[in-house]
Amino acid sequence: MSGKTEARDLLLSLIDATKASDLHDTTPEQAVANAIHEALIYQPSLRNCIFPTCIREFDMTARMNGWEPVNPSWSGDGWHQAIRGISHGSICPDHVAVITDHMARPAELPNGRWTLSCACGWMPRPQTWGGLLKPLWEQHILTAAGVLPAPETPAEPFERIPLAEHTESTLTELYDQLDDTEHDRQETREAAQAMYRGWDWHRNTLGGISRAVVAVCNMMRTSADFLDHRDWTADRIDAYLWAVLIGWNDDTLAQLAEKHRWNEHRIKYIREMRALLAPITDPQPKED
């Protein structure tokens, strides 16, 4: 024991007949007051382990000040601090491993209910009141450490209870499960509807683009066939437009490339643009 002896020693000296005569400056009142003050200041500040049922503790004051704790079992050696997770506080050396394996964080669900996300993958059933999560986690960690027997897992997700045997609490549980499922279903439906709306918009837009581009292509074909027998190969811009919008066969494309001095990059680009437009301009096989 160190750091907490001065006032006490002084007090002891005062009541010692052989030493008291040397202490002219100290009144008994002063010595007593000092001793009380010292006792308060140096009071151990004990911290418990957050593992439920664990009774180990350590003296935070002694630890912070680097003193030997009054009781050797109050040493802070090997203790950890849990600052995240559902349960905050100190962890004794015996329980550091199991608590680290089961560090669990609260998670708010979209329907305003709460659950936990444990490092081991465990999640309790959602709760309306977040205050229930800590006891649930404590039960989980006691089970994980083998202090409590593992809960019997029913063969089915939930066991069927005969109608006549339902109680208020079994019904509440069922309604809660129903509420969770209902909310999930609502969310899935909303996501599906949003996807459908997005798909429908693109489908309509693409349909419109297709009609417009096909109209241009038809006009080009008409002018080539009988309107004015326009030669779409003569001019390099015409040839280029036809190449992208309607497409030349390979031989014609090779001849035009030579005639209009298109290099291989230009030809590659033309082929790429043609391939991009093909789904819009060329009749597609019908779905179904």
What are the CA-CA distances from residue 139 to residues 72, 145, 150, 176 (Å)? 30, 10, 10, 21
Task: Please identify, using beta-carbon distances, which residue of 95 and 113 lies nearer to Zn ion.
Answer: 95
Task: Please identify, using beta-carbon distances, which residue of 132 and 191 lies nearer to Zn ion.
Answer: 132
CB 96, min distance to Zn ion, A: 8
Task: Please identify, using beta-carbon distances, which residue of 119 and 275 lies nearer to Zn ion.
Answer: 119
Task: Please identify, using beta-carbon distances, which residue of 95 and 274 lies nearer to Zn ion.
Answer: 95
CB 181, min distance to Zn ion, A: 24
Cα(141)–Cα(137) distance, integer angstroms: 6
Cα(136)–Cα(142) distance, integer angstroms: 10
Q: Which H or E run contains 106? A: strand 104-108
Cα(164)–Cα(142) distance, integer angstroms: 34
CB 62, min distance to Zn ion, A: 19
Q: Alpha-carbon dihedral of residues 166, 172, 177, 183, nearest 10 degrees?
A: 140
CB 114, min distance to Zn ion, A: 16
**Structure-token pair, residue 134:** 């800590």
How many Cβ atoms are within 10 Å of 26's Cβ, its own excluded? 15
Name the phi and psi angles at 80, rounded to 5.
-120, 165
Task: Please identify, using beta-carbon distances, which residue of 58 and 240 lies nearer to Zn ion.
Answer: 58
- Interface with Zn ion (CB under 5 A): 49, 51, 54, 56, 92, 94-95, 102, 118, 120, 122
Listed in sequence order, the DSSP H helices in the chain are: 6-14, 17-20, 28-41, 60-65, 96-101, 133-144, 168-222, 236-245, 250-259, 264-281
Task: Please identify, using beta-carbon distances, which residue of 84 and 286 lies nearer to Zn ion.
Answer: 84
Task: Please identify, using beta-carbon distances, which residue of 104 and 270 lies nearer to Zn ion.
Answer: 104
Q: Which single residue is written with the structure tokens 């000296």? A: 13
CB 26, min distance to Zn ion, A: 45
CB 110, min distance to Zn ion, A: 23
CB 179, min distance to Zn ion, A: 25
